[in-house]
Structure 1
Amino acid sequence: MSHPGVRRTTWNALRARRRELGGLAGWSVVESLPALLGGVLVARAVDQGFLVGRFGTGLAWLAGLAAAVLVGAVGTGRVYRGLGAVVEPFRDELATRVVRAALDGATRPGGRADSAAVTRLTHQVEVVRDTFGGLLMVVRGFLFTAGSALLGLLSLAPLLAGAVAVPLVAGLVVFAAGLPAMVAHQRAQVRAGEDLGRSAATALGGHRDVVACGAQDRVVDDVGRRVTAQARTERTLARMAALRSLSLGVGGWLPVVVLLLAVPWLVRNGMSTGAVLGALVYVTTGLQPALHAIVVGVGGGGLRYVVTLDRILRACPVPGDDAGPTAGTAPPPVAHAAPGTAAPPAVRLRGVTFRYGPHARPVLADLTLALSAGEHLAVVGPSGAGKSTLAALIAGLARPDSGTVHLAGAPVAALAPAALARLRVLVPQEGYVRSGSLDDNLRYLCPDVDEAALERAVDALGARPLVSRLGGLGAAIEPGALSAGERQLVAAVRAYVAPAPLVILDEATCHLDPVLEATVEDAFGRRPGTLVVVAHRISSATRADRVLVFDDDGPVLGTHQELLARSPTYRELVGLWEHVPVPSGVPLGGP
């Protein structure tokens, strides 16, 4: 389904410009005069002029038709002028929405610039503007042109008007019946393209891991399947053009057939030659073009309008987009702790909801989670699902909009910074290293740690080669001279010796190779205390007691095996790592 705001946004844009739409309708009546009068004037010109030898009378009636065409042309010009008064303000509102969302995302705490905002502003907004204007024109044109042609036909031959209206309505019904399928296939084509983009980006971004694990053929096959899926949706979408042709055939050409077949009967019942010719004018110059315009316009531009506006609304939420659940919707997902956990839990979240900005869509909604002391939890899911947000909430760096977060039974919101630091340590993706000695960096969170404990931590986390390369614990280091992985390793040893009972690793090993990452996580798994790992690689989940996966329907908690059975998202994440040879020495079991 499309974003519910597509219909609401479109309706609000039209309702806010009722006066302009009224003017547009008025000039549309003027524009449709040729469609209304064309058949009647042609019939008069033939019956009262040319067939009875009165060429002047016939030409006079045709002159009336020419005058109606000129008046209609004036109406057409005013229609296009009035169209801008409806479309351009809507475009400006969308542009403002995109810019505001981009600024909010870049300036909020923890936010970042969205490079896609430029594409939305320069391409997607213009697509919506053009297709919105096109839809207004074709829908308005069909209503007034087809309506005028049917009224004119009714004035010539009421029975014939009814006979022509039946296939016209049938063609519209065929088109309307196929429209949901067209929308679904259009959306499937967009999703297939996005899946292909994500799959290719993941393969390119993780090429080192792919090569290290010998998974090249598997990754190539996965990307190939995405390419095939996108090609299949493109072909299906192209075949939907046959449905449009069917509706045009039924609604546009069948009335002509009906008219031609009915001519003998109409003539026998007193219908004149001019009236027959006028009826043909109404069908071929009024009904047929109007039907063709709406089928092609809605079937092409209409689908692009819905899909593109849907993408803008999802990426740039405004007040009203994040309304709560309505009657009949499923309750928000809740992750429950396993029975028998100790009280108080090491970590407890109750009904936590968090959003970036008062009007943004919730990143986490009514999440409940409990971790017992000593438990090892892995948090996995696609980018942007809320994994780092959850880590920040547990660490007390972000406050929920509603709900509570407790560490060791104490409410995080009520803890002073020093008390909070004694309960948890967070290691982010970018490891912080300051100028000075390596020893000072490793003791940063625990200055009193003894030398032997520090040496054991270095060995446990596989940092001995780094320490040796730098010249020992007393060596001076320059942060810029260390690689991203080396900085992460220093930060990991620092957190390992910290006294806090809770360690949160927020993709803190993403720059390490798989062997060293497994060594670090295995060491933290044996460390006394509770461990939360926001996983960079799905292999981290196999080392955890339980896994929290951000599924399409919300967070789902369970063991590795349970989630393989329950979560499609988890199975997809695991897919690239199943049956992949693991380098020797990499522990994959739980601690």
Structure 2
Amino acid sequence: MSRLSVRRVTWRALRARRSALARLCGWSLVESLPALLAGLLVARAVDEGFLAGRLLNGLAWLGALAVAVLVGAAATGRTYRSLGAVVEPFRDDVAAQVVRGALREATRAGGRPDSAAVTRLTHQMEIIRDTFAGLLMVTRGFLFSAGAALLGLLALAPVVAALAAAPLVAGLAVFLAALPSMVAHQRAYVRAGERLGQSAAAALAGHRDVLACGAQARVTADVERRVSAQAAAERTLARMAAIRSLSLGIGGWLPLVVLLVAAPWLVERGLTAGAVLGALIYVSTGLQPALHTLVQGLGGGGLRYAVTLENILRAYPVTDGPRPPAPITRAPHPPTGPVGRSPAVEVRELTFGYGPRARPVLRNFSLTLAEGEHLAVVGPSGAGKSTLAALLAGLVPPQTGTVHLAGAAVADAEPSALGGLRVLVPQEAYVFTGSLADNLRYLRPDADDNTLEATLDALGARPLATRLGGLAAPVVPALLSTGERQLIAAVRAWLAPAPLVILDEATCHLDPTAEATVEDAFARRPGSLVVIAHRISSALRADRMLVLDGDEPVLGTHRELMAHSATYRMLVGCWDDPGVPSWAASARRG
């Protein structure tokens, strides 16, 4: 199977989104209406209106041009909406290719982590998205605007169209002839930047060894050489702007000169003054801006797009053959609770993404959590764990699907009613200035002092309360550590009357012993518990685990997931042995 080139990858991306591309072209056609009519309407306004002594006729023709401009402006907004439907999915596809390639290289036998993958996934990925969008806009802008202007010139007089088109074609030829050299210089610039990033990363990672060996001068010289190479590549790339200026002079300004010089000759052969003025308008407001946008777009963003995507495809090639999907196995779901009783959480066909064109974080996701059940949600950063917590809590609405808590639809619940169904404790715990008792009673104002004291003991917060001076002691949030604020928020949540508690990494700043004490207390609390886990020991205390890793979620017990989920085995720290390690078993007993 052959590797796909930049051209073929781009063409395949466009073909995969033909409907969105067709909408973009349709609105671009409407947007080019002023470019098509400007010269004709101005010619009519001059010849049939102002020069003929008919002021109202001239103003009417200009009014028609104003209407065309308004229609084109409205279509411009639509083109940008259509653009997102083409660009964002393509960006997601390339990002997924980078992640898959980096993980494959890092986890294969004899593989090693690729330090340049971070650059490709951040800086270079943003370059691809922005330049791909710019490339589409300038290309379709030139095709429709220049095409409309040439059609208008033909309608005025074919000889005028020929006089304007000849220098335009010559300017384009100069630019296209220099394009391969521009690509080569852009490629050198990108690779110089990548080599500089690798050199700097190696120097920073091994700075202690560098100092111990006394190699500061050599390492500094190496980094300085990489900096100089990148600067030289950037200066060479900047000098290529002269080629762009030459092509713009030939294709954009020379047609104006030709028309002005040929104007007397054209008038002698019957061309009216309005037609000459209309032709100049077509060149100055149609052909010239379209060529300028194309040359600057291809010579700037287009080069960055081609070279950056080429760099990514060189590191993580895409082949012609289809990539077989990774086998995903769903762990069996245990019974949801006693017959006739509503489950604590019921999620049906949930889909959510950050933006209408973004890849969904969760797609057609379903989950049932029995009353009293303890669920841990695990997965790599960015997999959607906190998003799921926010959806369960009703903080964000799903795009499709439903969430029910204790039989009540979250979407229909009033905020006061929703507060009685669940309590969410985020990673950044909120503690306000006031007494410790006021902070703890925030969600349960009727709790007496004995209840507060017992809860402090249950969650291991007695030493903190003693240090502060008891329940009546003032609390100053700025004087508390992050872990102390989390502990106060945990006690407050434990006291809440809501039957469901969601801990979104709410104990990440506690030490493992304190975290185990808090989570054990919540496990004994009446009601259900969902923990967004940041330590595998936290997940092992749950009845079931939900693994989110960007593909289909996998649900099951520890033993089931060790057999069915490679992501879970990686998080546990055991890729090959599906048995439970001794430290994991002891953590689960704890």
Give the TM-score normalised by the residue count of structure 2.
Answer: 0.50
Give the TM-score normalised by the residue count of structure 1.
Answer: 0.50
